[in-house]
Structure 1
Amino acid sequence: MRAFVSHNHKDKPAVRSFATKLRLGGVDTWLDEWELSPGDSIPGKVGVALDTVDTVLVCWSKHASTSEWVKSELETAIIRRLEDGLRIIPVRLDDTPLPALLRPLYWVSVTEDDDQTAVNKILGVDTTGFLQGVQQLLDEATIEAVSFHGAGVYVICPNCGAPPAKLEQWGATDYDRGDHYAGVRCTECRWEEGGEV
């Protein structure tokens, strides 16, 4: 699947997380901030993308409902749907009613605490299937992922972008309280994350 993610910039944090999970699940995902470079023609690049994808994910929200960009992308997608069967998937970000032309379509919902369910529905997999896709992507891309007790899995320092070789595990104990703490820190920028374990 090659999918274009139509959205309003005010919804970027939720859309970025959702699109990232789609990409990790194996979807060739077109998101503006990943595809556009300074000096690019935005209408030109968007137009080419909308001509070449097989799916358009319309991220619908209060912000999207008043966006001329989203309206234009939706019109283009509907024309392609009528001409060559382009798949359009409404993705609800809030309870804003869908426009009339999207209402008959099966939609998914992305909430603040759950976008994985929507991703799984789009991919037609359960969580295990999604994780198998992620593992395959990591294997093919030779991405090194390192797990740190108390902090989770990292492929880079989220602060400065340093590689996993620059990340180190840390641990501490509060003997008076009997509490144990663990996490990860970057040897480049000194960023750290973790907590009680």
Structure 2
Amino acid sequence: MPNDFKYDVFLSHSAKDKSIVRELANMLKNDRLRVWFDEWELMPGDSIPAKIEEGLENSRVLVLCMSANTFGSDWAQLEAGTFRFRDPLNKERRFIPLRLDDAPVKSSLAQFLHIDWLSQDREQEYAKLIEACRPPAKPQAIETETSQDLAMVQSISVRHLADSEETMIKLCVHKARFVNSETEFYFINVTNLSPAREVEVTHVWFDGERQIAVLQSDRPLPKRLRLDETWETRIECFRIPEQARETAYTMFRARLSTGEVFSSEKNVSVPQMGFSPGAQIDKSEPEHALAIKIHKPRMKFSTFGVERIKTEFQCVFHNEGRKPIALVESHLVIKFDIPLSNGMQELRLDLYSYKDLRNAHQEKTIGGHHLILDPNTIENLSLKFYLNTELKTHEMNALRDELNGTKDFVFIIYAIDIEDRVYQSMPTRVSER
């Protein structure tokens, strides 16, 4: 049954907030909720990732305890566990952010109404949390007087299934790039093949270990398709996990307003050159356009904090559009001509901080500040990227030394704004150190 979850609540938190979350767990338990809390579920010898995944899969509500600690080094792992609960298609589950301190909330979470644990009226906030976490009441069975009622219900169900069989769309995926651009995309082509009805596409996403929404500002959803009409959207290849890229062609999904979901297939008949259907061509100056140029890269990797690797170099950002751009995150992708000893052909580092070279003493972390670029402005910045993966000391030192000894690789910077638009630099090749 859809509502038969082992746990009512899964408490996702940073280990540094353990004492606060432990108190919350006891409160929820005393109110007769079934709580997954790591101290109660993990035993010596358990595989921690496996037990966490098992807990997430068997929980109806995820409470994400947000704090400065949460949004620090633990964030990538904690965020990965939230996607199945944040999915609007998954009606059985619920996602509840709970704010522990006054740390700025990540832009990706701003759309969710949160519980304020800082509030002076904590009792009222706790009452809201309890109400949201309680399982829904089971509907009472209603005994029909005659079998005629059951026959009517069966007739309606059969008629609904028959109607749904008349709806048919074709979902095809291919990989390509725009002229004069190095960015590769998966293009998702949707065609209405229904014999006698229009359809409305409401959601498109990649259905991997975690679901990734396909959203482009120039291809808004929902999209209504007439008979035989074709529409196309896209997603940058780098946003798909590397291990899934070869099979990604069959892993995209499209949902219609009727609730029906269709799976993709690989498009094997794509012309060498062509156009992307479904949007008008705008020949005016773009609203949002950002040129990124890597300048004087140091290409020196060193240690950063505890078990981290970093690199730092200068970069020029030029807002060539008509509107301001607010960047909320940035990544550095390094592509190796020859794989590393661990088999890696690509490495991604996250932006930790930036400095305006005109005010070099003012270093800002991207997590605490949006980088605002006004129209027609040029910013010369020093960027510091770090590998957001904890390694053992000997592994970190070995990887750092190998990176410093590696030649012939390409740097690309990707920047993402507050509305999820993605910008990228031209690839910069490094052949000398």
Are the structure 2 counterparts of residues 20 and 74 from structure 1 closer, same or farther at C-alpha, using a change threshold of 3 Å?
same
Task: Say yes or no: does 1:99 pair with 2:106.
Answer: yes
Indicate if the aligned counterparts of 1:18 and 1:119 stay in contact, CA closer than 8 A: no
Between the aligned residues of both structures, percent identity stands at 31
Q: Which amino acid aligns with 1:93?
A: L
Aligned-residue offset at 1:75 = 2.2
CA-to-aligned-CA distance 1:124-155 (integer Å, 9 cap, x gap): 29xxxxxxxxxxxxxxxxxxxxxxxxxxxxxx
Task: Say yes or no: does 1:20 pair with 2:26.
Answer: yes
Measure, in 2, the Cα distance between the counterparts of 1:116 and 1:35: 27
Partner of 2:232: none
Measure, in 1, the Cα distance between the counterparts of 2:119 and 2:48: 29
- Number of residue equivalences: 124
Which structure exhibits the higher relative contact order, with contacts defined as CA atoms closer than 8 Å and separated by 6 or more residues? Answer: 1
SS at match of 1:33: helix
After TM superposition, the score normalised by the length of structure 2 is 0.27
Measure, in 1, the Cα distance between the counterparts of 2:110 and 2:79: 13
Q: Which amino acid aligns with 2:94?
A: R
Match of 1:48 among 48, 51, 54: 54
Measure, in 1, the Cα distance between the counterparts of 2:40 and 2:123: 20
| Higher share of residues assigned strand | 2
Partner of 1:5: 11
Aligned-residue offset at 1:90 = 0.5
Task: Say yes or no: does 1:108 pair with 2:104.
Answer: no
Q: Which amino acid aligns with 2:104?
A: P
Measure, in 1, the Cα distance between the counterparts of 2:37 and 2:114: 19
The answer for unaligned runs of 5 or more in structure 1 is 126-197
Are the structure 2 counterparts of residues 15 and 55 from structure 1 closer, same or farther at C-alpha, using a change threshold of 3 Å?
same
Q: Which amino acid aligns with 2:125?
A: A
Q: Which amino acid aligns with 2:102?
A: D
SS at match of 1:40: coil
The answer for unaligned runs of 5 or more in structure 2 is 1-6, 133-433
Partner of 1:122: 129
Aligned 1:130-145 pairs, distance under 5 A: none
Are the structure 2 counterparts of residues 44 and 114 from structure 1 closer, same or farther at C-alpha, using a change threshold of 3 Å?
farther
Q: Which amino acid aligns with 1:76?
A: G
Partner of 2:79: 74
RMSD across aligned C-alpha pairs, in angstroms? 2.3
Aligned-residue offset at 1:112 = 9.3
| Higher share of residues assigned helix | 1
Measure, in 1, the Cα distance between the counterparts of 2:112 and 2:27: 22
SS at match of 1:55: strand
CA-to-aligned-CA distance 1:169-195 (integer Å, 9 cap, x gap): xxxxxxxxxxxxxxxxxxxxxxxxxxx
Measure, in 2, the Cα distance between the counterparts of 1:28 and 1:96: 29
Indicate if the aligned counterparts of 1:18 and 1:115 stay in contact, CA closer than 8 A: no
Q: Which amino acid aligns with 1:71?
A: A
Partner of 1:159: none
Measure, in 2, the Cα distance between the counterparts of 1:112 and 1:16: 19
